[in-house]
A and B are shown apart, each in its own frame.
Chain A
Amino acid sequence: MSGVTRTEYCVIACAEAWRGAGEILASPMGLIPSLGARLARWTFSPDLLLTDGEAMLVGLDGTPEGWLPYRRHLALVTGGRRHVMMGASQLDRHGNQNISCVGDWERPRRQLLGVRGAPVNTVNHATSYWVPKHSRRVFVEKVDMVCGVGYDRVAEHPAAARFHRIARVVSDLGVFDFATPDRSMRLASLHPGVTVEQVGEATGFGLAVPDEVPYTREPTEAELRLIREVIDPENTRAREVRG
């Protein structure tokens, strides 16, 4: 197997969010994170809990193993045994995320979904973000409405900060974390074929960039076979990310 696509690097990067996570619920929002969560469970995180997207906890073959309607899901969230990978319409250098609206909240230019569960997620368990099209429209200096709480905001609330962790941001260009002294966003790896300059141009704030930026790791032969033949044989992944 060869010719690893950009999309497949994205799947690997998303899967890595759940490495070593243990017996917790992986809540992927969106296609690529879903493939990543399944890959993680198939390989290096076999204890993960997965849902059918409705009210059932299911195994990799779809066998139900538990009941998780919304009310129990919310209890699981506050219990902390979950790592969600959410989307982000806007994201800033501190990891504040917006999915509510663009423009003034009082009279938005673009009404989006609403805050949904982003506030409860981010002060209770690990959260990661997935951005399929990295651009200055998403990676902004300041988000219009803080839904998911970032490192600067949570620092004002030490008790809530105990449970706050933004593990990683995965985009179609690379992987980002907050492993800097002031917990601001850092370029952690580039997907092969992407340059630091490209990422900088597509980002609306100054990213922390280490002297040596590694590339996102290669999938193993076994992982690539799983993605292509078992997890996503229809190649639905190609619809979400080009290349």
Chain B
Amino acid sequence: MSDKTMTADEAVSRLASGMTLGIGGWGSRRKPMALVRALLRSEITDLTVVAYGGPDIGMLAAAGRIRKLVAAFVTLDSVPLEPHFRAARERGAFELMEVDEAMFMWGLRAAANRLPFLPVRAGIGSDVMRVNPALRTVTSPYDDGETFAAMPALRLDAAFVHVNRADRLGNGQYLGPDPYFDDLFCEAADTAYVSCERLVDTAELTKDAPPQTLLVGRHVVTGVIEAPNGAHFTSCAPDYGRDEAFQKRYATTPWPQFAARYLSGDEGAYQSAVREGS
């Protein structure tokens, strides 16, 4: 069996500019930030990013890496509006495919199931249809004849997700209350990179946790990255909560200053800078 462990930089080196990248987590929760930080250290740009957006989007937008964003929202949760995403949108920095949360999920499901689209009632009557003129509708072939939005598959070249535990083969485990849609991101992607708080032996995954915590299967995983505190400053329950003080600093510090202080070195340098505080 193949050992899929690699570093975050190795994972990023397999990507290319212009790709479609899905990022797991939700808002400012269990975001694969160590992988995002590695991406920020690379030259990769011109990305189509697909996410239930949080600071991953804010940072990539601030750094000018996004050509197109597919999202239903971007938020830091305890800070409702993501400042860098806002600024980027207000200066027209990238293209946006703005869809509803449920439409987004069905787009991932369609991709995971190798379907071109799935019908959804969501979107009907709203301006989601107006601002996405490429969105088609589909009529039920049965007697009801209802018209639905045909949510296109959100097929991804690559996916980044962060989980609590993983083994070397790529089996990923979440121990918090919500799986979000991380398994779907991996299934919708041609390649998926799973970072984890702690790399463990396969047997250890189910030693103290029930089998349904095994969220991501190795058959859809390309690389496994051990990244302790790798979701920082977003939450990674039960290992740690959101670093609210640091998030506030992120939200209120001008981007060039924040990037110079925290993102000019490698992940180790980032984690040291976080420990040192302001």
- A residues at B contact (CB < 8 Å): 54-56, 67, 69-71, 74, 77-78, 100-101, 105-120, 122-124, 145-149, 153-154, 156-157, 159-160, 163
Contacts and interface: CB of A to CB of B under 8 A. Distances in A.
A69 B147 CA distance: 28
6 tightest Cβ-Cβ pairs between the two chains A and B:
A114-B73, A120-B122, A55-B177, A149-B125, A120-B102, A159-B146
Contact of B73 (A108, A116, A159): A116
A81 B276 CA distance: 48
B85 interface: yes
Interface string B119-142: 011111111101100000000000
B101 A116 contact: yes
A100 B102 contact: no
Given A69-B178, A113-B74, A119-B102, 15 more contacts: A54-B177, A67-B177, A70-B178, A108-B90, A110-B90, A114-B75, A117-B72, A118-B100, A119-B126, A120-B100, A120-B101, A122-B125, A123-B125, A146-B130, A154-B125
User: Would you call the interface of chain B mostly helix, strand, loop, or mixed?
Assistant: loop
Contacts of B158: none
Contacts of A117: 72, 100-102
B163 interface: no
Interface string B95-112: 000111111010000000
A120 to B, nearest CB: 4
B32 interface: no
Interface in B52-91: 53, 71-75, 80-81, 85-86, 89-90
B122, B125, B180 pick with most chain A CB within 10 angstroms: B125
Given A69-B178, A116-B72, A119-B100, A111 B125 contact: no
Contact of B71 (A78, A114, A124, A148): A114
User: Would you call the interface of chain A mostly helix, strand, loop, or mixed?
Assistant: loop
Contacts, number: 131
A41 B80 CA distance: 27
18 contacts: A69-B179, A78-B121, A105-B98, A105-B127, A108-B90, A111-B86, A113-B80, A114-B72, A114-B75, A115-B100, A119-B100, A119-B124, A123-B122, A123-B125, A146-B125, A156-B125, A160-B125, A160-B146
Given A54-B177, A69-B179, A100-B98, A115 B73 contact: yes
B211 interface: no
B125 A115 contact: no
Contact of A113 (B26, B73, B125, B126): B73
Contact of B122 (A54, A69, A112, A119): A119
Given A70-B26, A119-B128, A123-B125, A107 B90 contact: yes
A113 B75 contact: yes
A100 B131 CA distance: 12
A145 B101 contact: no
A114 B98 contact: yes
Contacts of A124: 121-122
B181 interface: yes
A78 B123 CA distance: 12
Nearest to B131: A105
A164 B89 CA distance: 31
A163 B125 CA distance: 13
Given A70-B178, A145-B131, A153-B126, A119 B103 contact: yes
Nearest to B52: A70
